[in-house]
Amino acid sequence: MRDERARSIPTAIKILVAGGFGAGKTTMVGNVSEILPLHTEEVLTSAGTDSDDLSGVEAKRTTTVTMDFGRITIGDSAVLYLFGTPGQDRFWFLWDELAIGALGAVVLADTRRLADSFPSIDYFERRGIPFVVAVNCFHGHQPFGVDAVRGALSLDPEVPVVMCDVRDRRSGREVLVTLIEHVRAITLGPAHTAVAGTS
Amino acid sequence: MPADDDDAHEWLDADAGPLVRSYAVTGGRARPGASTFDLLTYVVATPAGQRRHAVRLQPEHRAVLALAQEPISVAELSSRAGFALGVVRVLLADLFDEGAVTRMAPAVAPGHIPDDHILQAVILGLRHA
């Protein structure tokens, strides 16, 4: 007979990937993950007939919201779970469940629609959840610099802002590294965060 | 009539079909009682659950139990079973009450930041995997 108590499970780390509709959340989750994107869904019972911007579902009283997530296994010790947040405002209540116990968040920003990332930034600031802003460079270049984006979003100086291309696995994973370094800097203080073999 | 009756039945019109279907397997229960199963809670079949023919179960319970023969997170279980999260939670609560599954203690208490050596390992893994 196998003994359940003798088995160990990896440290499960939850990271949220937020941002406005079309900012690249699903693309990033899919590209950095080791397996095809997983999804879970929840059935909504609220009416909300006038605020739904998906075409074709206006008349329904129930709908299903899908949450994409991915997984990255780090040896035997840890598993990262990346959850894309629902993009529509009416699904904010789902964010609260996703945010519980989250290590931190990535806010994807599209400079053509920078204001779309305001609600995500407000959400994480209010709840004290560490986050980084990743500017998705859809076409391989970005006309605005990091400082311009930081100013436009009125970010605190310690919040990292990085450029990325969510279609690229390495770029997406480097965004996650930036987030974890940010969490370590908050936890340990910036003077104690050098990782051997990097930086 | 209590006021909450009106609220509770507001949505019971012709459009309520998908809701009823999704939760039919749970007997209409939308909440798993006192047992809670967070997205990243790991569950696993108990020895009794591994002998699952011994347990009286609906097919949906069996599907969940089959996926939990090795430790699995609730989120992954929902994805692989193809059941909505709320449905999976109710099914897991039933299996928990039957003694067929157990929750595994998390490696890090919820809301706590993992040890720094874990975070350093994650950084190295992300850069070199």
- pLDDT, one tens digit per residue, over B79-127 is 999 988 888 999 999 999 889 999 998 888 777 899 999 999 999 999 9
Average pLDDT over residues A154-179: 95
**Closest CB from B11, B122, B127 relative to A80:** B122
Minimum mean pLDDT range among A71-75, A83-87, A193-197? A193-197
Q: Does B24 touch chain A (CB under 8 A)?
A: no
Nearest chain B Cα distance for residue A25, angstroms:
18
For helices B74-81 and B59-67, give the axis angle rounded to 10 degrees: 130
Determine what percent of chain A is predicted with pLDDT higher than 70. Answer: 77
* C-alpha–C-alpha distance, residues B86 and A181, integer Å: 34
Measure CA B84 to chain center.
Answer: 9
Interface of B with A in 61-100 (CB under 8 A): 71, 73, 75-76, 78-80, 84-86, 88
For helices B59-67 and B85-97, give the axis angle rounded to 10 degrees: 90
pLDDT for A58 equals: 47
ipTM attached to this prediction: 0.82
Does residue A91 contact residue A79 with C-beta atoms inside 8 Å?
no
Q: Which strands, in side-by-side order, build the sheet including A161-164? A: A38-44, A63-74, A78-84, A11-19, A104-109, A131-136, A161-164
Does residue A1 contact residue B49 with C-beta atoms inside 8 Å?
no
CATH class held by domain A4-192: alpha beta
Average pLDDT over residues A119-145: 87
How many helices (H) does chain B have, and how many strands (E)?
Answer: 7, 3
Mean pLDDT of chain A: 82
Average pLDDT over residues A156-163: 94
* C-alpha–C-alpha distance, residues A29 and A148, integer Å: 26
- Containing structural domain, residue B55: 3-128
Q: State yes or no: pLDDT of A109 exceeds 80.
A: yes
Q: Would the CA dihedral through A119, A121, A125, A127 be positive or negative?
A: positive
Count CA atoms closer than 13 A to A195's CA, side-chain side.
21
Residue A126 tokens, joined = 């209010």
- CA dihedral of B109, A33, A99, B38, whole degrees rounded to 10: -50
Q: Does B7 touch chain A (CB under 8 A)?
A: no
Q: Number of folded domains in chain B?
A: 1
Does residue A143 contact residue A169 with C-beta atoms inside 8 Å?
no
